[in-house]
Amino acid sequence: MAPQFDVDTTLEALSLDEKISLLAGASFTETKRIPTKGVLAIKALDGPNGVRGPATDSSIYSNCFPCACSIAATFDQAIAYRIGRGIATDARAKDAHCLLGPTVCMHRHPLGGRNFEAFSEDPLLTGKLAAQYVKGLQDEGISATIKHFVANEQETRRTTVDVIISERALREIYLRPFEIVAREAKPWAFMTAYNSVNGSHCDSNTWLLKQVLRGEWGWDGLVMSDWGGTNSVAAALNAGLDLEMPGPPKLRKFASVQSALKNGEITEEVINERARNVLTFTNKLTSLAADRAMRSPAVGERELQAQIRDAAARGMVLLKNENSILPLTRQKVQGTKIALVGFSKDALAHGGGSAAVHSPYKVTPWDGLRAALGSDIEFTFALGAHRERLLPPLDKDGSCGTVYGSDGQPGFSRILYGEGMEAPTISHGHLQSMYTPLGSQESLWRTLEIVTNFTPLESGNHYMTCSGLGPSRTYIDGELVFEQSGNSDDPMGSLFLAAPEKEFRYCFQKNRTYRVRVCSEPPVNIGLEILEGRSGVRVGFSLESVHDADLQGEAVLVAKEAHLAIVFSGHDSSFETEGRDQDSFNLPHDQDGLIAAVSEANSNTIVVNSTGVPIAMPWLDQVSAVVQAWFPGQECGNAIADILTGAINPEGRLPVTFPKRIEDTPAYGNFPGTYVDEALKVTYAEGVFIGYRHFDRLDREKVNFPFGYGLSYSTFEFGTMRAVQLGEGVSSVAVDVMNSGSMDGRTLVQIYAGRSHPSDEHPLKALVAFGKFRLQAGESTSARLLVTWRDIAYFDEVQKRWVVDEGDYVLYLGNSAADILQTATVPLKRMSWKP
């Protein structure tokens, strides 16, 4: 496949202004094209667990895959690769060249709003699975974009927070997965994080971009900013930020770049370097796009759906199974009544923000279980608790009443006013709900109004909310009933529909029509450049009878009358989302109380929890079984049914520790940080002791379920572990594994390593190798894994080298990080490496 153009020749042919134009996007999703010089545009779309776009058009569907922590729970590199290829198939169908993912930041704290989009608390597991995901994408000609580089482990003030962290912790924990991916998968693009690291914004951090990424790691791809995450002109260009996104440029306007050039802040050589990287990137991807247009898709639609279902099930973790209540085989439950409580009629398939994929369908657990167990089972249902963080938007679906715009058509009318407009711009009827996406381009520096004529279904003091990016007001029949006098206190949360909204009540009468008018002013000095001046507003509504219903009481009644109760708990996509960290370690809307009440009413209670993070489980001793389902994608209900019924033997393992109390987590007290002169700083005071590295130093009773833990419907036995040195820095570990149960299944071999004489300065042990092995009932195999001792090296900040001290080291074969089956001692000579 020949390139479309010679990069150096094209670069030489470009004028200075043309080179500058390449250094920023042309639109929200595309780079700049220069057709006269043969330079085509690249389309980049969100893609951590499916192609979201372009960019959020609700008429465009994409397959929704399991989230990253669900992939990590498989501990299966082949599954990660297949998911990468599958997402690439969708990207190709949408003429995308570049996917904005995967996210390889760490699970530092359970309240991280975006943890689900990242893989694990362990850098090796994260790096190895992310590398395979990237290979799957790029083998199909779609660029991955590794993000967010680096230390973006929280959403609170994510655009401005300054992360204070030691070089050792950065190197060993937070940079390590990026390094593994950079070296093993050679991703074509990196995305810088919004935050600062030790006082320097990531997009202009010379140490990160020049010394580490392009220097020590020898990586040579394109570096782009997060959307609106460019914080300087000269500093970012000099540091190595090639591309400001999105476009049109906010900082890299012609005048700004030319001024920096004239003042000697940058040189034309720097502009050439940045432009060359952009040209190389676009040349590669447009060439690949032309080549792949001649080939069939990597994966067919039916095969893709089967892969999603299989991967989702294999990532689910069986945490508890008292008295073998699971699996629910047809023979076991024939003729019984099963109560499905909670979110069984909802598919908690994904988190919010960039991961909120508009999939063609989502299978609910209700539908999945009914299909799996057949018609001879009686299923009953009770919601038990509200699901959403916010009141649902006033909608034209008729659930709350009828709505008609000012033109008399069903829906809402939207009006935009602004200086320089000869007349207001009015659009009728097309809005599905009383909500307009915050930050829409047409609302820039415009006053926004949304108007409808509303006739409620019933009389009562109904509940409403209103929130805007800028000052906003709600009028009913001309009366001001709510006012937000200033900008949103949480603009990122508002953008992703996760900011708290104040509820108010209004007495509506059935069969009477009310004129509802909502006004929003453009925000000024909101603290986030990308949202400056972009009006947006949201109105929520709930009937009094719905809002105040005794959902828990209804669930208890249903559970009492059933032989078995399954509670589906978890987080709606507004509770785990980009833009906002979580408010609590406990499940929202008193789901803990719901589970406790149902388990008291029915001694055969199973919990299926869908979150991307650990949660408090005060009810754990009261229930018979627990399955951690994560956010498993569009085949959600089928995959859950596969696990509950035994169609697939559970094999998932926890990629994060599930502590009992938030107070015992390593970052407690240092998340999300403290304010210094109105600026948020967060200190990673725990250093390298995150996740199981921290919990290894505590009483085991502090943990509900450790890293690497997971049950099966079968049993597996291990022979004696054998370790052989293959050369300096590498060992081979072998162990015989037997499936001694009656069901075929797969088990995880996990190897940890650490010093034989523990030191307060170093973790007791770290994961150094893992592998999944499938065995039929009664079958045995010899599992062999390679241990690279570089993976337990520590970074010496004085010598600026990676070091393994001389001495004896212990290899641990574990059922989990806390359940060690065997050990073997290996003597090592001192080893050290340059970064």
> What is the DSSP annotation of 370-391?
HHHH-TTSEEEEE--S---SSP
> What is the DSSP annotation of 661-718?
-GGGSTTTTSSS-EEETTEEEEE-TTTT--THHHHTTS-GGGEEE-TT--B-SS-EEE
Query: Does one domain contain both 419 and 505?
Result: yes
pLDDT in tens, 14-48: 999 999 999 999 999 999 999 999 999 999 999 88
Tokens read off for 493: 């949360």
Between the CA of residue 270 and those of 176, 239, 265, 466, what are the distances in Å? 28, 9, 10, 48
Query: Does one domain contain both 749 and 809?
Result: yes
Helices 365-373 + 636-645 axis angle, to 10: 40
Average pLDDT over residues 633-645: 98
Is residue 383 in a domain?
A: yes
Indicate the Cα dihedral angle 606, 612, 618, 620, nearest 10°: 30
Query: Does one domain contain both 650 and 747?
Result: no
Domain that holds residue 196: 1-38+191-297
Q: Which strand (E) or helix (H) includes residue 278? A: helix 268-292
User: Cα(131)–Cα(77) distance, rounded to whole angstroms?
Assistant: 9
Is residue 28 in a domain?
A: yes
**DSSP at 630:** -
Residue 434 has pLDDT above 60, yes or no: no
What CATH code is carried by the domain that includes residue 233? Answer: 3.20.20.300
Residue 829 has pLDDT above 70, yes or no: yes
Domain end, chosen from 622, 656, 690, is at 656
Residue 329 has pLDDT above 60, yes or no: yes
Is residue 736 in a domain?
A: yes
Is residue 182 in a domain?
A: no
Is residue 238 in a domain?
A: yes
Domain end, chosen from 492, 511, 542, is at 542
Catalytic residue flag (residue 226): yes
Predicted local confidence at residue 704, as pLDDT: 98
Nearest to 495 by CA among 456, 525, 526: 526
| Strand, helix or coil for residue 23 | coil
User: Cα(821)–Cα(738) distance, rounded to whole angstroms?
Assistant: 14
Which residues are 627's β-sheet partners?
Answer: 318, 608
Query: Does one domain contain both 382 and 494?
Result: no
| Strand, helix or coil for residue 350 | coil
Contact 317/653 with Cβ under 8 angstroms? yes
Nearest to 353 by CA among 773, 47, 804: 47
User: Cα(150)–Cα(202) distance, rounded to whole angstroms?
Assistant: 7
Predicted local confidence at residue 681, as pLDDT: 98
User: Cα(565)–Cα(381) distance, rounded to whole angstroms?
Assistant: 10
Query: Does one domain contain both 278 and 250?
Result: yes
Predicted local confidence at residue 1, as pLDDT: 46
**DSSP at 595:** H
Percent pLDDT > 70 in the chain is 96
Q: Higher-confidence residue: 527 or 748?
A: 748
User: Cα(677)–Cα(365) distance, rounded to whole angstroms?
Assistant: 49
Q: Higher-confidence residue: 424 or 769?
A: 769
Residue 51 has pLDDT above 90, yes or no: yes
Predicted local confidence at residue 419, as pLDDT: 74
* Angle subtended at Cα 748 by Cα 746 and Cα 754, rounded to the nearest 5 degrees: 170
Tokens read off for 143: 């660029």
Query: Does one domain contain both 454 and 378?
Result: no
Is residue 85 in a domain?
A: no
Residue 486 has pLDDT above 90, yes or no: yes
If you average pLDDT over each of 119-128, 463-472, 524-533, which comes out highest? 119-128
Average pLDDT over residues 80-91: 95
303 φ, ψ (degrees, to nearest 5): -65, -40
Query: Does one domain contain both 569 and 470?
Result: no
Residue 430 has pLDDT above 80, yes or no: no
The residue whose two tokens read 């629910």 is 328
pLDDT in tens, 600-632: 999 999 999 999 999 999 999 999 999 999 999
Helices 591-601 + 551-560 axis angle, to 10: 20
User: Cα(626)–Cα(609) distance, rounded to whole angstroms?
Assistant: 8
Residue 212, preceding peptide bond in cis (omega within 30° of 0):
no
User: Cα(443)–Cα(323) distance, rounded to whole angstroms?
Assistant: 59
Average pLDDT over residues 485-503: 88
Query: Going along 429-562, which residue ranges are E strands?
Result: 447-456, 460-468, 472-476, 479-484, 503-508, 514-520, 537-542
Prediction pTM value: 0.95
Predicted local confidence at residue 55, as pLDDT: 45
Residue 439 has pLDDT above 60, yes or no: no
Instruction: Give the β-pairing of 413-417 and 447-456.
Output: antiparallel
Predicted local confidence at residue 173, as pLDDT: 98
Instruction: Give the β-pairing of 820-828 and 807-814.
Output: antiparallel
Query: Does one domain contain both 737 and 825?
Result: yes
What number of other Cβ atoms are within 10 A of residue 449's Cβ? 20
Runs of H (alpha helix) within 411-569: 491-495, 544-547, 551-560
Mean residue pLDDT of the chain comes to 94
Tokens read off for 111: 């309240």
Query: Does one domain contain both 345 and 428?
Result: no
Lowest mean pLDDT among 165-169, 301-305, 648-652, 661-665: 301-305
Residue 290 has pLDDT above 90, yes or no: no
Query: Does one domain contain both 274 and 334?
Result: no
Residues 6+ apart with CB under 8 A from 503: 391, 463, 464, 465
Tokens read off for 692: 């199981």
Q: Higher-confidence residue: 738 or 1?
A: 738
pLDDT in tens, 268-278: 999 999 999 99
Q: How many domains does the chain have?
A: 4
Q: Higher-confidence residue: 677 or 280?
A: 280
Query: Does one domain contain both 580 and 643?
Result: yes
What CATH code is carried by the domain that includes residue 431? Answer: 2.60.120.260
Is residue 108 in a domain?
A: no
* Angle subtended at Cα 435 by Cα 430 and Cα 436, rounded to the nearest 5 degrees: 75
Runs of H (alpha helix) within 536-581: 544-547, 551-560
If you average pLDDT over each of 283-287, 338-342, 410-414, which comes out highest? 338-342
Lowest mean pLDDT among 95-109, 285-299, 416-430, 677-691: 416-430
Predicted local confidence at residue 598, as pLDDT: 98
- Express the helix, strand and coil content of the chain in percent, nearest 5 each: 25, 30, 45
Domain end, chosen from 605, 622, 656, is at 656
Average pLDDT over residues 528-539: 83
What CATH code is carried by the domain that includes residue 814? Answer: 2.60.40.10
Catalytic position from the list 226, 242, 581, 791: 226
Predicted local confidence at residue 247, as pLDDT: 93
**DSSP at 34:** B
* Angle subtended at Cα 715 by Cα 567 and Cα 628, rounded to the nearest 5 degrees: 25
Contact 815/717 with Cβ under 8 angstroms? no
Residue 345 has pLDDT above 90, yes or no: yes
**DSSP at 831:** E
The residue whose two tokens read 């009468």 is 509
Residues 6+ apart with CB under 8 A from 663: none
**DSSP at 521:** P
User: Cα(62)–Cα(280) distance, rounded to whole angstroms?
Assistant: 29
User: Cα(236)–Cα(204) distance, rounded to whole angstroms?
Assistant: 4
Nearest to 754 by CA among 777, 727, 782, 787: 787
- Buried b / exposed e over 630-668, threshold 16 CB at 10 Å, is bbbbbbbbbbbbbbbbbebbbbbbbbbbbbbebebbbbe
What CATH code is carried by the domain that includes residue 330? Answer: 3.40.50.1700
Residue 179 has pLDDT above 90, yes or no: yes
Residue 338 has pLDDT above 70, yes or no: yes
Is residue 179 in a domain?
A: no
User: Cα(67)–Cα(133) distance, rounded to whole angstroms?
Assistant: 12
Residue 3 has pLDDT above 90, yes or no: no
User: Cα(616)–Cα(415) distance, rounded to whole angstroms?
Assistant: 46
Query: Does one domain contain both 406 and 502?
Result: yes
User: Cα(156)–Cα(681) distance, rounded to whole angstroms?
Assistant: 11
Predicted local confidence at residue 2, as pLDDT: 47
User: Cα(498)–Cα(578) distance, rounded to whole angstroms?
Assistant: 9
